[in-house]
């Protein structure tokens, strides 16, 4: 009765036929289509990276995030169909669960300290493949695993491809900090580099995000272009900073899944 009355009232105000179910279907259709396109682009990039760079007896670093899900999916397909023997080293709890759930062989950096390749996503990549990572809060482990690999490869969708950092990703550069130092780190960054340094707050709990290492994350929203190599070193010299989400000179190849279904490759 209430829905019928609402429909009649709206019909009288705007004219024509009004259907609540029609609005609901229309509301879902557009975002669903766009989301399908994004997921398809992620899958295409991840599959191509695994096909091009993973070989038998490889030691593979497994990154974190939504695009890496497809990389692990493809790796599992190849292991089970082709009989590849690979060791997988995770960068996070999420990555570890992906490896286990796909029945892949799990290792760690203590047992396997040198890797053939690491495959990971990025929040943004510029023309030189300088990356912003850490939207998911795993950038410390991700950087350690990437540095242990002979080849570090990025997989992402077209939304992460930029000419300069900050074009697409506007949430800032994640910086992992020791909890007792977060306020002094915030102030020092803002005084020395400008912009705004914000303590990241959790969404499903009261208080700040806590990383897998028991630390806080400060997101530095910068307001201009920098020499990222110098800035990265400058931030890391601040007492209390554990690691930054700037990956400078680490990634050698990136695969970007495009809107039209193709995969764009960038190599430096």
Query: What amino acid positions are annotated as catalytic residues?
Result: 142
In sequence order, which ranges of 157-222 are alpha helices (DSSP H)?
A: 182-193
The SS3 assignment for 218 reads strand
Element (H, E) at 255: strand 253-257
Q: Under a CB-based contact definition with an 8 Å cutoff, are residues 137 and 91 in contact?
A: no
Q: Under a CB-based contact definition with an 8 Å cutoff, are residues 47 and 75 in contact?
A: no
Token match 């396109």: residue? 37
Among positive and negative, which fits the CA dihedral 97, 111, 88, 267?
Answer: positive
b/e code 150-171 from CB counts within 10 Å (16+ = b): eebbbbbbbbbbbeebbebbee
Partners of 265 in beta bridges:
255
Question: What is the Cα 140 distance to its own chain's centre?
Answer: 13
In sequence order, which ranges of 109-227 are alpha helices (DSSP H)?
A: 139-147, 182-193
The SS3 assignment for 222 reads coil
Could you tell me whether strands 115-120 and 149-157 are parallel, antiparallel, or unpaired per DSSP bridges? parallel
Cβ neighbours around 267 below 10 Å, total: 9
């Amino acid at each position: 009765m209430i829905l019928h009355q609402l429909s009649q009232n709206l019909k009288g105000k705007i004219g024509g036929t009004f259907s609540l179910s029609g609005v609901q279907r229309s509301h879902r259709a557009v975002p669903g289509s766009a989301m399908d396109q994004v997921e398809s682009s992620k899958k295409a990039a991840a599959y191509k990276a695994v096909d091009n760079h993973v070989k038998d007896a490889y030691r593979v670093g497994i990154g974190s995030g939504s695009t890496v899900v497809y990389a692990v999916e493809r790796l599992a397909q190849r292991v089970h169909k082709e009989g590849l023997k690979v060791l997988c080293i995770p960068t996070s709890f999420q990555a570890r669960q992906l490896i286990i759930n796909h029945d892949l062989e799990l290792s760690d950096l203590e047992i396997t300290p040198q890797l053939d390749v690491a495959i990971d996503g990025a929040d943004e990549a510029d023309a030189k493949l300088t990356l912003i990572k850490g939207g998911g809060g795993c950038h410390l482990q991700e950087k350690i695993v990437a540095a242990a690999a002979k080849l570090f490869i990025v997989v992402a969708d077209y939304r992460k491809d930029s000419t300069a950092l900050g074009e697409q990703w506007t949430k800032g550069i994640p910086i992992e900090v020791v909890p007792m130092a977060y306020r002094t780190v915030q102030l020092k960054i803002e005084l020395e580099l400008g912009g705004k340094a914000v303590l990241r707050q959790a969404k499903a709990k009261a208080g700040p995000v806590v990383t897998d290492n028991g630390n806080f994350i400060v997101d530095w929203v910068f307001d201009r272009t920098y020499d990222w190599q110098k800035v990265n070193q400058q931030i890391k010299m601040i007492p209390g900073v554990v690691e930054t989400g700037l990956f400078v000179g680490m990634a050698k190849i990136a695969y970007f899944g495009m809107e039209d279904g193709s995969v764009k490759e960038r190599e430096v």
